[in-house]
Chain A
Amino acid sequence: EDQVTQSPEALRLQEGESSSLNCSYTVSGLRGLFWYRQDPGKGPEFLFTLYSAGEEKEKERLKATLTKKESFLHITAPKPEDSATYLCAVQAWAGNNRKLIWGLGTSLAVNP
Chain B
Amino acid sequence: KAGVTQTPRYLIKTRGQQVTLSCSPISGHRSVSWYQQTPGQGLQFLFEYFSETQRNKGNFPGRFSGRQFSNSRSEMNVSTLELGDSALYLCASSRGQAEGNEKLFFGSGTQLSVL
Binding site for B on A (CB under 8 A): 31-32, 34, 41-46, 49, 51, 87, 89, 91, 97-100, 102-105
Contact = CB atoms under 8 A, between A and B. Distances in A.
- For the complex of A and B, 5 pairs with smallest distance between CB atoms: A43-B106, A46-B103, A102-B43, A104-B42, A32-B101
Contact of A98 (B56, B92, B104, B109): B56
Given A46-B103, A98-B100, A103 B45 contact: no
- Give the interface size bracket for B toward A: 10 to 19
11 contacts: A32-B101, A42-B108, A44-B104, A45-B106, A87-B42, A89-B43, A97-B56, A98-B100, A102-B42, A102-B43, A104-B42
In terms of DSSP, what is the predominant structure of the interface of chain A?
Answer: strand
Contacts, number: 44
Given A43-B106, A43-B108, A104-B42, A99 B56 contact: yes
Interface of B: 4, 42-45, 56, 90, 92, 100-101, 103-109
